[in-house]
Amino acid sequence: MDNDKILKFDRLFKLETMSNKLVIEGKRDPEEISNFLQKVIERPVCEKFCLVDDLGTIVVPDDYKPGQSIEYFYKKHPELMGKMGRGFFTNCQPLFAKDKVSVKIYANVHEYEYTSLSDRIEFLARKYSLYPGVPGMYFIFLQKNEFLKEEFRYTLVDEEKYLKEDHITLGEYYVPTVCLSRKTNPKGVLMFEPAVTQRFFGSHDLFFGFNKVK
């Protein structure tokens, strides 16, 4: 169980203990608490994330080979490549020449509510089967550039078992988070920044969902 879930369960346990104590002391009406909990239990489960944009389909170029992503993009588009940090090369699923991939962008449902990386991993696991990692972001950047906005950060979520552990930060896990900068180039420059599992994401932190198109 990750740290985020532990904190949530700990808070729930403390509130339960306190409410029971108040009922025993006669300071709270047990019927009122029971009715409130019943409403929570019966309330439909709501998604934490909503679809922001459907980018359609990206197509992997004929001359692309798996495993050559960084060299490939630096050679073809050196003017678009920004800084690289550690932890951005996960064991992602490879893309192959001529692959067609559908891409959608998601955000938090509630603008001022924060969600964790674990929330996003769980959401994608129910809806998507492809995790192309950094190469997927590059192809979005080159083929769907007009959809990307400077004011947002885009996270490339991977399967939980493939998250890269960074021992420098005491076992936290990193995924690529992309910030777009158009100051030096009208088309933009990719700037990669780390996002840790324990970090909470706000309304300006978007993420992608990928599926192969047959």
Q: What is the pLDDT of residues 50-106, one digit of tens each?
A: 899 999 999 998 888 776 666 667 677 776 666 554 445 545 678 889 999 999 999
Does 181 share its domain with 84?
Answer: yes
Residues 188 and 169 in one domain: yes
What are phi and psi for residue 54, nearest 5 degrees? -105, 110
Q: Are residues 145 and 58 in the same domain?
A: yes
Instruction: Give the residue ranges of the chain where pLDDT is below 70.
Output: 1-5, 43-46, 67-72, 74, 79-92, 160-176, 184, 191-200
Residues 22 and 103 in one domain: no
Residue 119 shares a structural domain with residue 135: yes
DSSP-based three-state secondary structure for 155: strand
pLDDT of residue 85: 46
Greatest Cα pair distance in the chain:
74
Number of domains in the chain: 2
Q: Looking at the structure, tell me whether residues 182 and 82 fall in a common domain.
A: yes
pLDDT value at position 196?
A: 59
- Overall pTM surpassing 0.85 (yes/no): no
The domain of 37 spans: 3-42
User: Is the domain of 86 the same as that of 170?
Assistant: yes
The span from the CA of 49 to the CA of 106, in Å, is 6
Judge if 107 and 133 occupy the same domain.
yes
Predicted local distance difference test score (pLDDT) of residue 130:
87
Alpha helices in the chain (DSSP H): 3-24, 30-42, 69-76, 117-127, 133-143
The pLDDT of residue 26 is 92
